Structure 1
Amino acid sequence: MFGVVAPVALNKTTKVEAAYDKSEMRSFVRSTLSRNKVRGTVVVVKDGQPQQISYGYGYYGRRLGAGNTKVVYPVCSLQKVITAAIVTQLIYAKKFDQNTKISKWYPNLKNAENITVGNLLTHTSGIVTTGTEVNRGRVISEQSAIDWVVNKINSDKQGTAGNYYYNNANYILLAGIIRQETGDSYASAVNNRVIKPLGLKRTFFYEDIPFRTKTDAISYTYNYYTRKNYKNAEYVKESLASQLPGAGNLFSVPMDYYRIQVGLTNGKILTEDEFKFLTNIQAKVTQYSGGLYIKNDGKLKMAYGNLYGTHFGNWFQMTTDNKDGMIMFLNQNQNNESQNKAVGYEILNHVKANTFTER
């Protein structure tokens, strides 16, 4: 019996000795954000250990730090993988499959008989309609948002199914499929299938944010002429959020989003096999499948998100085993995806060199 105990103690000691210097990591990340004039909250994941690091204010007017527990950020397009995961759950429940034509749910939608669920999941539907992020100035219901997209698609010239074109409309239509198949709202499906199973405490739809104790973040830019931070304040209005069910109406924080990523393979949202299905939909023609870009022979996963008219910029990139990576929610940047990714890539290389991709 004593021979069994000794190696266990040794393993524990080894793990403690191998733990990385979180203080050094915090200093590096904060100095990187400072030098690049950006503000926000980052979760660094190294050797399976997540660490939250924040810099600047999430709401400058109220002097709420970016990492303050009162502040939540718009998830933007990083929400799409959540929508895709619920669709995957429904597929595995044999409600339909990836080759089911969406005319099943949208009989009056143009070209629906030629578009599959897989096409929506991979942005290969041929739908090229725009305007989903142009604020229409009034709060609408999920169904109204879906109906607007259907009507806009029908009134616009569309492309041919099979060609890749990144478009929010695909995921708003998926939200409508979830509504019809579950007999409840898309928001209820996310709450019951993702938020509650993972025990997330800082993830909300706009209408559910408890504004007595929480607030959504304000976004800003840096003025290089006056050398001033926190300029051009913008926030995500409820009316805009209401237009984007399934594609950009969720608010959260990087640590909750990390838990979501882990939940995609540990059985709480999906199993490993279901995740492989999600990220290898047959209709894909690029590296995009189910809300994620999968690169480096399936070893890396990532997504980028922002919202038109605001200065938010979210980027995450992790190894698919969730051991290493970064989730970055910026609320001050120059609205430049390439610049934001350059900041993130610098952090990623510090987490684990020669592992991640610049874009």
Structure 2
Amino acid sequence: MRQRIDALGIKGSVLVISKGKVLLDYASNNTTDTSYLINSVQKSMTAAMVMKLVQEGKLSLHERLARFYPAIPGAKKITIENLLAMTAGLQLKPGARLGRRHFVSDRDNLACDVKKTVFKPKMLGKWYYSSLNYVYLCGIMTQVTGQSYEQLFRATYVEPLQLKQTEFLWSKPGKIIASRLVPGMIYRGGRYDVVKHKKALQAAHDELGAGSVVMSNHDLAKVMNYILAGSLLSKKSRRELYRARPPAYYNGGFYNDASLGLKTANGAGEGYYTFMRSTKTAKTMIIIQANKTRKGEFAVLKDRIDKLIVELFAKKISSF
């Protein structure tokens, strides 16, 4: 198993859990408790937070976006369920980016995003990947609860699970240092250049709920277990949240492979990679994170990891 993972050439931290027990826990670069920016893997956590509100009767999957953001084009036709599955038909205007150039507040960023959002009626009900969906889900949760996304995240995951290497990228320097975050790096011109913290911080604010948290492998595994098999959600809630359709079988922040019973989440950006593969009960899980990246490398690595996982499951390797 280790040889197969090492052959991917990823320099970072690796955690493999098999049948509920740690099988491999090592680092080919950094340490086993290093934290990394998890980017889009955070969407699975945001989705579970939304589903928790649905479970508590504070929100409905069939609720219309217009209740919260009436100025968004097509809001009367779009549901919370559409946002979770990325089938809302929403996109940013050509050339636009999430957030404001100079961050003011989450609320201000959301107001800016509303002005830059377009609705494609023919895409309603069809899958189109965009973090915009999850940014709006964060705003909706804040309106429903009166708490910021960060407050909700800490109350949902950090505090009950006693996470030690989990922080928001904009946290105070002391907290970031305590989380053991390493800087993201991108290979350019024959060397790895460190991504400037200011640039990464801007992206983290823009990607609220979809790419603003740093975590170690062990903290990430705890959260995945809590979401997929713990007490956060009921079995009924999980069935509803992860109900997915082709072509991507995406819902609730995961790509859901029913044939193998796998949940897949990937994150890339600001010099970081995160790859997470788990069975639907979180009994078996692989997490690989790195802070040394190359342009065009992410898609290749993702495909190689997917093929490796499929092969391992198909052969039913005993050690896995």
* TM bucket normalised to smaller: 0.7 to 0.9
Q: Does the C-alpha gap of structure 1 residues 47 and 100 become closer, same or farther in structure 2, counting only changes over 3 Å? A: same
TM-score (norm 2): 0.86
Letter in structure 2 aligned against 1:54: A
Residue from 134, 140, 149 that aligns with 2:113: 149
Match 2:183 to one of 197, 218, 230: 218
The offset of 1:311, in angstroms, is: 2.8
Q: Please list, as runs of the form range in 1=range in 2, the aligned pairs for 1:153-302 lying within 5 A after superposition.
A: 153=117, 156=118, 158-160=120-122, 161-208=124-171, 210-221=175-186, 231-235=192-196, 237-280=200-243, 286-297=248-259, 299-302=261-264
Structure 1 residue ranges without an equivalent (≥5):
1-24, 57-64
Q: 1:304: which partner in 2?
A: 266
Could you say which structure has the larger radius of gyration?
1
**1:39 is matched with which residue?**
11
* Identity percentage of aligned residues: 24
Q: Unaligned regions of 5+ residues in structure 2, if any?
A: none
Whether the 8 Å CA contact 1:47–1:324 is kept in 2: the answer is yes
Measured in 2, the distance between the counterparts of 1:162 and 1:194 equals 31
Q: CA deviation at 1:350?
A: 8.3
Confirm or deny: 8 A CA contact 2:179 2:215 kept in the other structure. Answer: no
Residues 199-223 of structure 1, C-alpha deviations (whole Å, 9 max, x = no match): 2111111223514534532223457
Aligned pairs, number:
309
- 1:339 maps to what in 2? 300
Alpha-carbon spacing, 1:298–1:189, altered in 2? closer, same or farther (3 Å): farther
Higher relative contact order (CA 8 A, sep 6+): 2
> Are residues 108 and 93 of structure 1, via their aligned partners in 2, closer, same or farther at CA, if it must alter by over 3 Å?
same
Cα RMSD of the aligned pairs, angstroms, is 2.8
Q: Distance between the aligned counterparts of 1:256 and 1:235, measured in 2? A: 25
The question of 1:55 aligning with 2:25 is answered: no
Contact 1:140–1:239 (CA under 8 A) maintained in structure 2: no
Match for residue 85 of structure 2? 122
Q: 1:193 to 1:135 in 2, by over 3 A?
A: closer
**The residue matched to 1:112 in structure 2 has which SS?**
coil
